[in-house]
Amino acid sequence: MKDIQIKDATIPALGFGTYQLEEETAHELVTAALATGYRHIDTAQMYRNEEAVGAAIKEATVAREEVFLTTKVLPSNLAKKTFLLSVEESLQKLKTDYVDLLLIHWPNAEVPVEEYTGELVKAQEKGYAKHIGVSNHTTALLDKVLATGANIITNQVEYHPFLNQDKLYHYLRAHDLTLTAYSPIAQGKVMGNATLKSIGEKHGKNEVQIALRWLLQQDGVLAIPRSSKESHMRSNFDVFDFELTPGEVQQIDRLKQENTRLVHPAWAPAWD
């Protein structure tokens, strides 16, 4: 396992995402993920599985302080009147006194950036979160977040070999922030890609493993693949015993020209 050091945080570079995993499945897979060796678990209020995720972590033989746990605040909970209450509810569901990382899940056009960032900082000051960050934020929104002085450590966004995030990535590195990649295997669309398959054959790996390795070799990038199958989850973890060559990285970089964005809900900001 590779860790990323960012400011005063140490984050396992590869995490297990729980999006679209219902309660029972989430419990089973988080339990299996921890047994496999994952130490970074990602959930959210929006996923409606915080109770199951929390139970799996509590029941595991792994100590709580060894698990880097992330949750995210719903856009509808970003206003002052609901923010901290929603975080307290999340902590109760997760059966923990704190999360390691608390994120703004999506910006909300009806709530000023300064308001929700202020509440995020309060949550950290109260000890509800060791570290704070945002998700689905553009460079323009990040300018506003950083102007408040909030000590965020990451921006969690869609990132995979078919999506060009160069502008955002370079902005984040320039401001000493990490990029956490969700949908890192393009919701399975990496499978069957000729470039990834060819490179994989040289390393004895599949296209998913090549895509994850490509992400993890980038400076300051974390990845949180989600899987609904234990076999896939274990395979996703098997990416630390090889390295892509500079030439192979360049081959994969060229796939970004497709610039395919898979996650674009009605409330999304104007992407970079």
Positions marked active-site: 47
Q: How many helices (H) and strands (E) does the chain have?
A: 10, 10
Tell me, rounded to whole angstroms, the distance of Cα 206 from its chain centroid. Answer: 22
Vertex 34, ends 64 and 72: CA angle to 5°? 65
CB 39 within 8 A of CB 66: yes
Q: What is the spatial distance between Cα 97 and Cα 104, in angstroms, rounded to a whole number?
A: 19
Q: What is the spatial distance between Cα 27 and Cα 25, in angstroms, rounded to a whole number?
A: 5
Residue whose C-alpha is closest to residue 94's, from 15, 27, 33, 14:
27
Residue whose C-alpha is closest to residue 14's, from 44, 42, 43, 38:
38
Longest dimension (CA), the chain: 55
CB 154 within 8 A of CB 6: yes
